Structure 1
Amino acid sequence: MASPERAAEPEIVTQSTEPALEHEQNAAVEQANTPTEIPYEVHSIFSPNNKKFIILTASTAAFFSPLSSNIYLPALNLLARDLHVSDSKINLTVTTYLIFQAISPLMVAGFSDNSGRRPAYIICFIFYVAANIGLALQNNYVALLILRCFQSAGSSGTVALCQGVVADIATSAERGKYVAYSSVSTILGPTLSPIIGGLLSQYLGWKAIFWFLTIFAVPIFILLMLFLPETCHKVVGNGSIPPTHFLNKSVMSYLIEKKLAKEGTPIDRAQQEALAKNTYWKFPNPLATLVVLFNKEAAFLMLYIGLLLAVHYLILSGIPSIYAATYNLNEIQIALVYIPYGFGSVVSAFTTGKLVDWNYRRHAKRLDFPLVLNRKLDLTDFPIERARLEVALPLLYFGSALIIVYGWLLTLNVSLAGPLILLFFIGWCIFAIYQVTAILVVDIYPDNPATATAANNLIRCLFSAGSTAVCVLMLQGIGRGWTYTLAALLFVALSPVLWVLIKFGPGWRRVIKESKGGKKLEGIWIILRSSGI
């Protein structure tokens, strides 16, 4: 491996220019003394502006999953009345949506990691747009229940796809700032969607919600179809290999091919044929995604992310009942309460990423590790867990203290300004922690980022659903102060899991890498061996 000093100059070419006219012995000596450098592989050929466009487009597509889930909630009473069913039956449409939100990415992610991001996006949006049109036209409870499942199946896979796109075009050294662009939509969704849903259902009726989603989705679908390039490395390498299947091609793909031809850069046809041969289309196997959970490091990390999202939804789910009872707010006013939390999340998105990248650079310089942007580096001997979690842990303890204070302020019925200010800082802390841990998930699984994100999504959905289910029961049973105090204390009590990852994570990753490279172990056996099972 090249030394760190030389790694900073990735485009080194050192070839002897002496004519081969010397006698055999001198030629052999010269060849032995000629230094050889293997340049680091360019991770992505896309320019920084192209990367921002790609990630913002993918992030906008991912916005539909949380948007569709929560925009529907203000209309539940109207739906129960118009369809002549009970509240429990209408709530069942929420439950089934969450179930498909957890399961669908398991299939979409594995498919996209092997066949490409674009075909997966196209399938997701066809399902999503068709389901929304059907929901806007139906007047039957059974149709509502079934179409909500299709709507969830179409939208939920886009979150895993978005994280896959980020990993395709951004290395660990620059991933922090790009994940900020990709993650902000998934946090804004739960914050803005109740406001949009409340306004639409109150003034235009519940069907307007689904027409709005259709009208919003169609232009994004067209944008994806025309301009989003294929980024999956198993299909296009670092972007320099034109895809062979028409579903993987976009306008940008043709522009890239034209640019390479103009620059006189030859296309590696042998690699193109090899990639085309290894790209396969088949019905995805969700069990391949579940294998990720047998990785000890991934399991610990994802369980803690699940707990984080449980606290997140415990706060959001408690807002309607608490603020209506304490401050006599109506539905529209309650929806506005979500804004400070969402604004704190947005601010966090564009500050935490820079902090994450700064800490990565700090550790790289300390260890003389190559700091090369847009180059794929081997992180086996780099403490990526420490570089990431050192940012998250202080925010974890600070955020937990704020959650405790928030709960007791609500118990004391203080001025509305107090809880709203705390919601801003709590949103900032929770999203910062989520952003850091989500980046670490992709760092651990750089070759299958969408698959890892889908497994993470499954745990998140299960914890979030459980938190939402017990929120009202806890508030009624032990009160606001103790509900949020217990949640914060549990969050702190399990934080040693992250310290364990810092200490043992690099060793666990090394075992998996050695198993793959040395004994050629494959599949679940590698994961089980690293976990000591």
Structure 2
Amino acid sequence: MAEKHDEAHEAAANAPDEKEKESTRPPDDRIVLQPAATDGDTTAQPVEGPAFSAFSRRTKRFLLLMTAFATFFSPFSSFIYLPAITPIATAYGRSIADINLSVTLYQVMQAVAPLFFGDLSDQIGRRPVYVLTFAIYLGANIGLALQHGYAALLVLRALQSTGSSATVAIGSAVMADFATSADRGGYVTAVQASIMFAPALAPVLGGILTQFLGWRSNFWFLTIAAGVFLLIYVPFVPESARNIVGDGSLPPPALNRSLLAMHMQKKQRQRRQNPDSEATASTEATPPTPPPSSPLPPRKHKIPIPDLLAAVRIAFEKDVGLLLLFMSLFVMANYTLLVPLQDVIRRRYGFNDVQVGLCYIPFAAGSGVGSLVTGRLLNRNYARVAASIGVRPDRKRGDDLRHFPIERARLDVMWPWLLLAVAMTASWGWVVDAGTSLAAPLVVLFFAGAGLSGPMSVLTTLLVDLYPMNPGRVSSTFNLTRAGFSAVGTAVIQYIIDAWGYGYTYLFMGLLVLAASPAILVVRHYGPRWREERYLRFERAKKTQADRVDVDRE
């Protein structure tokens, strides 16, 4: 239903000829079309039409800030836990491997939960799903702070992951709600930077809390942080889902209204009921606001049922599947480096909890730098590729991506970061085995973080470009594959290290990623053809559905 609503809105708002628009656009594309260059005219001019988003720059920045804040919780909750693994194992009389199972379980739920909540946010909007997931997260943290059993630890860690992991998928969807393809790289990588920054702050804070207040204080801190988020989010953050509020100018239904929006609507009703009041006079004295975008079709009230299989089916698209396979192996290699890090540092250098946490800072600092630089490179390369085919990027209304080589615009930025990450992963094990001074592994961690963040930012942006109508769904598919692979890697990495040693283990991980990298070249070359096949398939399905509706009416 969400897709149909958004299609109707875009057709009304942007197309002078609705039938012509339907014949050239698949049901999952909501980018404003620009006329293609004709023979003898190499420069396509932007089409005149409404802006892609009615949100002000200040509102966009506020949405970006709150989305980054929300997305921060999933990796932060994972990494703040790492310095506490050894104390928790001691408290429960369990082995490190037993407590690592709670890390694996957290990653499994990171894979599964977004399938439900990502698609749900595409149906009912971002705000209700954010509030629901943070309520689950808040309750799980309170339970973790109070529990006293190993089984309870596992169950509540799963619930904690369920509540926090959906924010990563929804975060990319929020950016797609208001950012055009020309600007999207900067917005998405800004959110990714918050994800990458978590490994710096979380272990440090986790080490301090664990050493001075006990490991339970980690969960109390997360409870307070989630409460602060909700205190800001519930009253002030607007709904952004395009199938709910269009370009942002349509009034949301009651379920999606912020407290501020409710207050403003109440004041408007009072003004209508008292037309002679001072409020009306004040309103008439102010400049008129821009008219809202065309209304969406009436929404049928029914219980939303997320299509979990739809997210799984996306992974079997040729281009998306290859990208997900490569990036899942890539993320797995980096997770297998980070999860054993606390035990390596503790044993090799005799550090306490605080010192162990501080050793995560170089990785996250490199990740943050890499994300910010990648965002600028993505926007710059997009403009360069557009200029090479005679298209001027329209940052206000958006560009037609159907005949735009978006794969080239995004993937060409990935290679330097990829090679850097492979080199650092392969060398990490030998640095650890060599017993060098602490400076060497910290330098490797910094550049490994930079190498990881680049491809992550590139792929996240590209996936939203490929599925702009269902950004929550495609992001949840990415979460499914990368978290699933990471869970497997985390579960077996210690056994591989015990058998092979650090040097050969991480050399194997680096070579595994390198062996999968030709998938990037394949997608860059064949991706536009596969994407066009998908467009045509969507158009045929849409036409078949329309024919069935006509037959039913007859």
Counterparts of 1:187-202 in structure 2, within 5 Å, are: 187-202=196-211
8 A Cα contact 1:40 1:377, kept in partner: no
Q: What is the CA–CA distance in structure 2 between the aligned matches of 1:253 and 1:376, rounded to whole Å?
A: 31
Q: Distance in 1 between matches of 2:51 and 2:87?
A: 54
1:214 to 206, 210, 223: 223
Task: Give 1:8 shift.
Answer: 8.0
Moved more, 479-488 or 140-149: 140-149
The alpha-carbon distance between structure 1 residues 252 and 389, as it changes in their structure 2 partners (threshold 3 A), is farther
Tell me if structure 1 keeps the 8 A contact 2:207–2:355: no
TM-score of the two chains, using structure 1 as the length reference: 0.85
Q: Where does residue 25 of structure 1 map in the other structure?
A: none
SS at match of 1:294: coil
Q: Given the superposition, is the C-alpha separation of residues 424 and 409 from structure 1 closer, same or farther in structure 2, using an over 3 Å criterion?
A: same
The one-character-per-residue Cα deviations of 1:204-229 (angstroms, maximum 9, x if unpaired) are: 12221111111111110121111211
Q: Which runs of 5+ in 1 are unaligned?
A: 11-37, 524-533
Partner-residue secondary structure (3-state), 1:307: helix
How far, CA to CA, are the matches of 2:509 and 2:544 in structure 1?
Answer: 40
3-state SS, counterpart of residue 501 of structure 2: helix
Secondary structure of 1:322's aligned partner: helix
Picking from 134, 140, 157, the partner of 1:148 is: 157
Instruction: Say if 2:76 is the partner of 1:67.
Output: yes
Question: More deviation in 232-241 or 86-95?
Answer: 86-95
Choose 386-395 or 471-480, whichever is displaced more. 471-480
Residue identity matched to 1:328: G
Give the Cα–Cα distance (whole angstroms) in 1 for the partners of residues 394 and 400 of structure 2.
12
2:478 maps to which of 456, 468, 479: 456
SS at match of 1:188: helix
The residue matched to 1:391 in structure 2 has which SS? coil
1:305-324 matches, cutoff 5 A: 305-324=327-346
Out of 35, 41, 52, the position equivalent to 1:43 is: 52
- How many Å apart are 1:107 and its aligned residue? 0.4
Bigger shift: residues 463-472 or 349-358: 463-472
| TM-superposition CA deviations, 1:111-150 (whole Å, max 9, x none) | 1001100010011111111222222233344433332222
After superposition, the Cα gap between the structure-2 partners of 1:154 and 1:416, relative to the gap in structure 1 and judged at 3 Å, is same
2:378 is the alignment partner of 1:345: no
Does the CA contact (< 8 Å) of 1:229 and 1:250 recur in 2? no
**1:265 aligns to what?**
290
Alpha-carbon distance, 1:398 to partner: 3.1
Check whether the contact 1:109–1:157 (CA below 8 A) recurs between aligned residues. yes
Q: Percent identity?
A: 38
Q: Which has the higher contact order (CA 8 A, sep 6+)?
A: 2
Q: CA 1:229/1:349 → structure 2, altered by over 3 Å: closer, same or farther?
A: same
Give 2:322's aligned residue: 300
2:287 and 2:524 mapped to 1: Cα distance?
A: 48
Question: 2:388 is matched with which residue: 348, 351, 366?
Answer: 366
Question: C-alpha displacement at 1:203, in angstroms?
Answer: 1.3
The 3 A distance-change label for structure 1 pair 522 and 396 is farther
Shift of 1:424: 1.1
Supply the distance in 2 between the matched residues of 1:429 and 1:66 (Cα, whole angstroms). Answer: 18
Higher mean C-alpha displacement, 40-49 vs 125-134: 40-49
Distance 1:470 1:159 in 2: 25
- Please tell me the residue identity of whatever aligns with 1:136: A
1:438 aligns with 2:447: no
Would you say the 8 A contact 1:197–1:209 is kept in 2?
A: yes
Equivalent positions of 1:152-301 (< 5 A) are 152-251=161-260, 262-267=287-292, 271-272=295-296, 274=297, 276-277=298-299, 281-301=303-323
Distance 1:422 1:135, change over 3 A: closer
Asked if structure 2 preserves the Cα contact closer than 8 Å seen for 1:355 and 1:391, the reply is yes
Given the alignment, which residue of 363, 373, 376 partners 1:354? 376
1: CA distance between counterparts of 2:134 and 2:386?
41
Q: Is the 8 A contact 2:105 2:158 kept in 1?
A: yes
The Cα shift of 1:280 comes to 5.4
Q: Aligned pair in 2 of structure 1 residues 352, 520: CA closer, same or farther (>3 Å)?
A: same
Q: Corresponding residue for 1:402? A: 424
Deviations 1:254-276 (A, max 9, x none): 779989995243345x614x1x5
In 2 relative to 1, CA 160–520 (structure 1 residues): closer, same or farther, beyond 3 Å?
same
Distance 1:222 1:473 in 2: 44
CA RMSD between the two structures: 2.7
Q: Check conservation: 2:52, 2:396, Cα contact below 8 A.
A: yes
C-alpha distance in structure 2 between counterparts of 1:505 and 1:397, whole Å = 22
Q: Which runs of 5+ in 2 are unaligned?
A: 1-33, 269-282, 546-554
SS at match of 2:190: helix
Give the Å deviation of 1:83: 4.8
Letter in 1 for 2:430: W
Kindly provide the CA deviation profile for residues 246-301 of structure 1, in whole angstroms up to 9, marking residues without a partner as x: 43445268779989995243345x614x1x51685423232222121121111111
Q: Does 1:54 align with 2:63?
A: yes
Residues 280 and 240 of structure 1: CA distance in aligned 2, closer, same or farther (over 3 Å): farther
**SS of equivalent residue, structure 1 residue 467:** helix
CA contact 1:75–1:197 (8 Å) conserved in 2: yes
Aligned to 2:230, what secondary structure does the other structure show? helix
Q: Partner residue of 1:483?
A: 505
Q: State which of 436, 444, 456 in structure 2 corresponds to 1:422.
A: 444
Contact 1:110/1:284 (<8 A) preserved: yes
Change (3 A) 1:43 1:281: farther
Output the TM-score relative to the length of structure 2. Answer: 0.82
Deviates more, 1:308-317 or 1:352-361: 308-317
Whether contact under 8 Å (2:84, 2:206) holds in the other structure is yes
Task: Choose 355-364 or 44-53, whichever is displaced more.
Answer: 44-53
- CA distance in 2 between counterparts of 1:6 and 1:219 reads 52
Structure 2 distance, partners of 1:518, 1:52, is 39
Structure 1 match to 2:120:
111
Q: Which deviates further from its counterpart, 179-188 or 341-350? A: 179-188
Matched residue type, 1:119: P
Work out whether residues 234 and 279 of structure 1, in 8 Å CA contact, stay in contact via their aligned partners in 2.
no
Name the SS for the 2:414 alignment partner. helix
Deviates more, 1:402-411 or 1:310-319: 402-411
Per-residue deviation, 1:349: 1.7
Q: Residue 35 of structure 2 corresponds to which residue in structure 1?
A: 2
- 1:453 offset after TM fit, Å? 0.6
Counterpart CA distance in 1 for 2:85 and 2:425 is 29
